[in-house]
Each structure stands twice: as structure tokens, then as C-alpha cells.
Chain A
Amino acid sequence: MTGRFTRLLAAGPGITVVALLLALLLWGGIAVFAGLPFFGALVALVEGGVGSGFAIEQTLHFATPLLFTGLCVALPLRAGMVIIGGEGSLVLGGLAAAAAAVAVPESWSLVALLVAGAAAGALWIALSAAGRVWYGVNEAISSLLLVYVAIAILNHLIEGPLRDPSSLDKPASALIPPPARIAALPGFPSLHWGLPAGILLCLVCHLLVTRSVPGLSLRYTGSNRRAANYAGLSTATIMLVAAAAAGAAAGLAGALEVATVFGRANASLAAGYGFTGILVCALARGNMLALLPAALLVGAIEAGGGLLQRRYGAPAASAAMMHGLIFLMLIVGEGVRCRMPLFLASGNRS
């Protein structure tokens, strides 16, 4: 019985579930410390995520960009790179999208918005990958630092050359023309076509990576670059393409935010979806199909945090704290899993 239980844990998803439960308990404890009722807080968190039609809509709303930013982490991971700077791609993607949508004739503005968003995002992550591939620069660090460069570029442009003179209290770029606005899904005012697009993108990426020849090349490269080189793969190209595709996904998330929520580029683009994507990918363990439930879960916590604020006046950081706790527990779980053979061995001996 014990053996079966430990094996279940070691299998991976089990660890994730236990990590989630532990994070929930810990979070409840902290909520008590902050003066909230333990069960009340937990109930509000769950209720705000899945308790009503509105709650579910909120969850899906928050999950939409996370699908894209989760992909931005998962895809490079499969090529052997740890990219944690999806936020930079998202910010620049949103900025480029807003600028491009204004710059072209109105009938082309939607196309320009999407293409510019994806291209800017792709460029940003590909920059980190290029550093890694050609100069051996650690891509995790470079992509993370480039986030702050991206945010600085955004702030500079929306406060300077791209600033809409009518945006007085909050600097922003000009409003995009109506044809570039992406409509809400019929019947769900806070959901838009980005949600089905994101789901489709995850499915397609999953199939490509697991079932196609280029996907296998990608996995060979990620698993052992030296051996992949020996097998004749041009691993540099593969890594660059994977990084560019990942960046394009995050850039699209930014473009969608602009086309649906803000209608322009402003500082609210840097809302942390890019960083939360890391958590989504960690929950999914790099599996692109598992990004779907993972993004839903994280989106639900985000939505639950909203209800907590409304019901108990809890700080806005409650959801972020839950995210952090989940991440912490996942990492601890990973550590325990690595030592699991030791526990099992000592168990067998006794």
C-alpha cells in the first residue's frame, strides 16, 4: 500500500496535487494570520474561481493570456532552454501591436496588430536564445533581465514619441481603430476569441512536439544537444526557431490584451502574466496539453483573489501569494521526489 502510494507520488502528477493541497493549507494559515477566517478564505478562493457563471467567466478571462505565456516557457523548455522572460515579449508585443494598428490603413489594422505583436515578441526571446546558442550566455538570466529593458522601452515610448496627447493622467499610446478591436465571445462579455485561439495553439503545439518530425528534432536537441549535433541536427537553428515561436506566443498575448482589454498600450501591460506563465508551465511540467488545466487553475486563483478582495477586503496580493506558495511547494516536491529512491531503498531494507 505504502509502496503504491509513493510510486504514485513519484510519477509526477501526484506530487503536483500534493503540492497544491499543501500550498492551499499554508495559504489558509497565512490568511488566518491576516485576520481572515480560515475556511471562509478558502471557500471564497474556490467560490471566486468556480462558484458561479460569473466566477467561471472570470477564471477563463484570466486564463487566456496564461495559455500563451505558458507556451512561452514550455516550448523553449523542450528545446533545452529555461526562458523566464515571457513578460518582456508580452510587453513589447503589446506595444508593437498598438503602434502597428495605428500606423496602417484601418482595414489592415487587425492583421498588423497580430503580426507586429507576434514578431516583436519573437524577436525578444530569440535574442536571449541567440546569446545562449552562439555565446553561451545563460538564457534564463538574459531573458529575465531583458524584461526590464522591455518595460523601460514601453515606458519611454508611451511617455514620449508614441504618447497620445489625450491620455493625461496615465500615459498611453493612441487608441487603436475599431477594426483592430477583437470582439467578445457572444454571450460572455469578458471573454474573447483569444481563449479558443489559445486552446487551439496549445493543442497544435502539443501535437507538433509529440507527433511530428520537427517536434522530435526539438526534443532530441533539448534532451542532449551534443548527441543531436552528432546526429546531424542543426541544433542552433532549432533552438532559435523554438525560442522565436515561444516569444511570438507571448507577444500575441500582449497584442490580445491591447486588442481586447486596453485598446492601447499603457503601463498596465506589465501585469505579470508573463511571470505567471512560468508557474503555469511548472504546474504542467512542460507538457503543452497540461497547460490547459494548469492555466485554468492559476486563472481560478486569480479570480478567487478578486472575490476575496470584494468580500473580506483582503489585499490584492493574496492571489500572488498563493501563486508563490504553489511554486515553492512544487520545488520542494521536486526535491523530495529526487530523494524518493533513498526513502524507498531504506524502506526496503528495514
Chain B
Amino acid sequence: MSNSLAIEKVTVRYADNIAVDAVSLDLACGKIHALLGENGAGKSSLLRALAGVHAPDSGRIFFAGGRQKMGLMRQDAGLIAGMSVIENLALACGGNRWRINWRQLRRRAVQALARQQANIDLDCAVEKLGFGQRQQVALAGLDLSGCQFLLLDEPVAALTPVEADAFLAGIRQQVDQGASALIASHRIAEILAVADHVHVLRAGRLVFSGAASSTDAEQIRQAIFAQPAAARLPSRPSAMPGATILDIDDLVLPGFAGPINLQVAAGEMIGIAGMAGNGQNQLIEILAGFSLARTGTIRIAGKHLAGGNGRKLGMRCIVEDPLADACMADMSIAENLVVHDYRRPPYASRFAILQGRAIAAHANQVIARARLAVQRSSDLFCWLSGGNQRKLLVERELAGNPAVVVALNPTAGLDSASAASVVECLDQACQRGAAILICSEDLDILAERADRLMVMSAGKLLEVSGPDRRRLAIELMCAGASTQAPESSQPTTASSLLSG
């Protein structure tokens, strides 16, 4: 009987969130297995559990017919910038405790790189290599350290199509010589071309598993993006858009090529879909005033947005990470909730004395409205769970009558009930006349709520309309993900790590 890696009811939890939910899989050795799914579907968590980075909370992982060495390759290749290729390879497999046999290592390294048909100078500093070559070096490292079962986390996400094909061909070759591979990705077409088996995760559960030859891309797409049954929301009355409030004119996002032109009217909700890393973060940074737009103009109700005046113009942002960008972790809930209003009565008296009682009363009111489980307004903000932090942020930013609301992944990491309440708050703000812009990876919410749906791809906005815009958007996202210009598709983390 041939060997296989057996995964039995593996569950991985992060605090309250279940990342991987009782996944059982039998991965035959000597094959390429593709692990597909949206961002946050649990791909990385499962890989990390397999690699031993995190112990799973429950379940078993074992080889059915004899142990094999496994190795994980991180998305950013995990090389050490400032050191040469051969030094990085020495880290992967270098000699014994005291001594590295460089001559032998070089010989083996040349062989390992040749197996991938990679032509890389061993003494080149890794930051001078292209992204594809870095991945090849990392793969050679796994090869040299004797890994037979390769775990690859988004290996082609940062690569151009040509690089990706070359890299995947290298994997194919290793597998043909007896290795095995599990590749996590969300680039369907390229992965399908090389994989033997396809497994799809959605919200931590295994929803599809089958041979690649008997499935097509469409089937996989449906498995990846299917509507979760629980997250149905009451439909939103279609808005009567008023005058244009937010006017973005020829804005070029840093690191991207395409200009963005977008007009949003009062009472209109715009949904922006797209794979992470296509410029959503940069757009929010500029709108929130964290960074400046170098080209293009942004007007709110006719007035220029510049130099941190967004708050005065009625711009409110719901950021992805409240603790980093919007809230004070080591201050009380009450103090966090009055950030926009503490200078005014009833929170401050005429002589700029804070009215602690009014501030606490306001906080208690908000806590009650947001239906938070028993929390005192004097508790520190960082004691709250991530979901509750987000809920309070939403309450704070949408209080009053904001002119423009920009939200980045407002429902990410929330359970379905919390997500619904966040969406409801956004709906209400919209009805009160706010222009709303939601960037999200949750296509279902966008397709269902937004008056206009756009896809953000390589720093550009493409409008999607028509009867089946959800499906169209998915196709645009997938297409865009594989045709990005190389300079814009490099994740900022990897490039900044290696250039710095």
C-alpha cells in the first residue's frame, strides 16, 4: 500500500475564531495536492498545523505508511536579506553543529537548483533576485534538507505568470522524482494545470475534494465562493442617490499604475471587491488621511481633502485593525468612544474641564446599543475581543451624520451575527445620507448590498454591472489576480523586507 499523509478531524482555533474546523483529508504521497480557498478560509492555518508551527487544538496528523520529512515554504520565501544564496541554503541544511562543509554544500546546491532548471548564482545576495528566483532558492532549501513532503503557502502569489509557470514546473519535476506537495493558493487556473488533486476550504471546512482531471475551474469557483447559508441579511431598500459627495479624480495609488476616478453620491453604497494587495489598503490610507495622495485630487462636498482635514469634512473610516489605526488600546472604552466629540458639551464644560459622568453615560449607552456582553465603560479598550472592538468602532464612527464612510473589510473576522449588525449600521448611515465605500473580500455582502459593485485590480477600479454581477466580479478578480503587472503584484511586506 502506498504512503499517505492522513489528517484526522484537525481543528485550529485562535481565541474565539475557528480557523480550521474538523478537517479530515487523506493526501496520497507522490502527488501534487492543491488547497484552494478564499483569504481566511483556513489554508494557511492548516498548513501551519501540518508543519508543526501551531499544534492543532484537536485531531491527528500522521503518515499512514512510514514517516516523511515535511517542510513549509512561506509566502515571502522566508529568506534572510543581506545574505547570499548559499548562506541561506546553509541555514536550511547546513552541516553539523560546529562546521559547515561549504564545498559539499555548494555541490549539492548546484544539483538542487539544477533539478528545478534554475540558473542562480550561489554568491548572489538574495535581495537582488527576482521573486520567482527567491521562491526557487527556498524550494532548493527544502530539497537540500531532505524534505519529501512540501508544504507551500501561496508560492505563486507574488510571481508573474511566466515565473509562476516555471516554479510550478519545478515542483512537478520534484514530485515526479518521488516528492509530494501540498500547495495553498487562490489562483485557480495555474494551480489546476499542475495539481493531481484539488481540495477546497471554505470558512475552515473542507467543502470539496476531488481529482483535478475530473473537475473544471467553474466547479472550483463555486466551491470557493458559495454563499454561506447563515449570513443572509434583510435586503436594503434601494437608495435614491442625491448629489455627489465624494469625488475622486485621477488618483494614483502609490506602487500602482492606474488612475482611479470615482464619484459617490449621498445615500449611495459602493462595494469594492478584490483580492487583498490590489491597492485597497493604500486607498483607505489616503482617504483616512494616514498618507497623502501624490497625484490626483479628492473632494468631499466640493472641498479638497488634504492634510488631515478629513474629520472636519465629515469623513469617517472603519479601519481593518482598530488597535493600530483608530483606537487607544490602553485607554478606557469611554475615552475611546468620545474621540471625535470630547471637546464639546456635554463632554467638556465651558472651561475645557472633562465631564467624566457624561462621558461614562455616553459609553454605557453605546455599549447597551451595541449589545455587548457585560462591559464596564472604564474597562480598557484592549480587553475587548476583536469583534467587540470593531463593533464599538463602527458605533463611534457612524454616530452623528458622517458625510462619507469608508470601510475596509468591516466584517472580516466577525461571526455572522456581528457581521450582520455591522452591515446594518452601515445601511442606516447610508439611509441618513452618507456616501459609503466598502472594500471587502466578502463578495456576498458586497454583491447583495452595494448600489454599485466594483473590482479593484492592480490599483484600478473596474465597474461590474448586469444581472449576475457577483459571478462577473469573481471572474474579474481571478483574472486580475493572474494578469497583474509584476511590480504591483509584489506584496509590500516581502518587498520592504528584502529592500530594507
Contacts and interface: CB of A to CB of B under 8 A. Distances in A.
Interface string B312-332: 100001000001111111110
B326 A227 contact: yes
A238 B309 CA distance: 17
A231 B325 CA distance: 10
A104 interface: no
Given A212-B352, A213-B352, A231 B339 contact: yes
Contact of B329 (A211, A215, A224, A231): A224
A59 B354 CA distance: 36
A157 B206 CA distance: 78
Contacts of A232: 308-312, 340
A232 B326 CA distance: 11
A216 B327 contact: no
Nearest to B324: A226
Interface string A125-149: 0000000000000000000000000
B290 interface: yes
A223 B325 contact: no
A275 interface: no
A62 interface: no
Determine the main DSSP class of A at the interface with B. Answer: helix
Nearest to A234: B308
A51 interface: no
Contacts of A216: 335, 342, 354
A213 B343 contact: yes
B353 A212 contact: yes
A223 B353 contact: no
B105 interface: no
B289 interface: yes
Contacts of A213: 342-343, 348, 352-354
A212 B354 contact: yes
Interface in B320-365: 323-331, 335, 339-340, 342-343, 348, 352-354, 356
B340 A229 contact: no
Interface in A7-40: none
Contacts of B335: 216, 219-220
A229 B289 contact: yes
A229 B289 CA distance: 8
B168 interface: no
Contact of A230 (B289, B352, B356): B289
A223 B326 CA distance: 11
B113 interface: no
B288 interface: yes
Interface centre among B288, B289, B312, B354 (most CB of A within 10 A): B354
Nearest to A210: B354
Contacts of B343: 213
Contacts of B328: 219-220, 223-224, 227-228
Interface residues of B, number: 28
Contact of B325 (A211, A212, A219, A227): A227
B339 A220 contact: yes
Contacts of A226: 290, 324-325
A160 interface: no
Contacts of A230: 288-290, 310-311, 317, 325-326
Contacts of A234: 308
A212 B351 CA distance: 9
Contacts of A179: none
Contacts of B323: 224
Given A212-B352, A229-B308, A231-B339, A223 B290 contact: no
A223 to B, nearest CB: 4
A226 B321 CA distance: 12
Contacts of B309: 232
A38 B288 CA distance: 62
Interface in B272-327: 288-290, 308-312, 317, 323-327
Interface string A228-246: 1111101000000000000
B483 to A, nearest CB: 34
A220 B328 CA distance: 7
A231 B331 CA distance: 15
A214 interface: yes
A68 B327 CA distance: 32
Contacts of B353: 211-213
Nearest to B317: A230
Given A212-B353, A213-B342, A232-B311, A223 B329 contact: yes
Interface in A183-239: 211-216, 219-220, 223-224, 226-232, 234
A70 B331 CA distance: 23
Contacts of A229: 289-290, 308
Contacts of B348: 213
Given A216-B354, A226-B325, A231 B289 contact: no
A132 to B, nearest CB: 19
A211 B358 CA distance: 13
Contacts of A223: 328-331
Contacts of A214: 352
Contact of B311 (A215, A220, A231): A231
Contact of A211 (B308, B317, B354): B354
Nearest to A211: B354
B39 to A, nearest CB: 24
Interface of B: 288-290, 308-312, 317, 323-331, 335, 339-340, 342-343, 348, 352-354, 356
Give the top 8 A-B pairs by smallest Cβ distance, nearest first: A223-B328, A232-B311, A213-B352, A231-B339, A224-B328, A213-B348, A227-B326, A223-B331
8 contacts: A212-B352, A214-B352, A224-B327, A226-B290, A227-B325, A228-B328, A232-B310, A234-B308
Given A213-B343, A213-B354, 16 more contacts: A212-B352, A212-B354, A213-B342, A213-B353, A214-B352, A219-B331, A220-B339, A223-B328, A223-B330, A224-B328, A227-B325, A227-B326, A228-B328, A229-B290, A230-B289, A230-B317
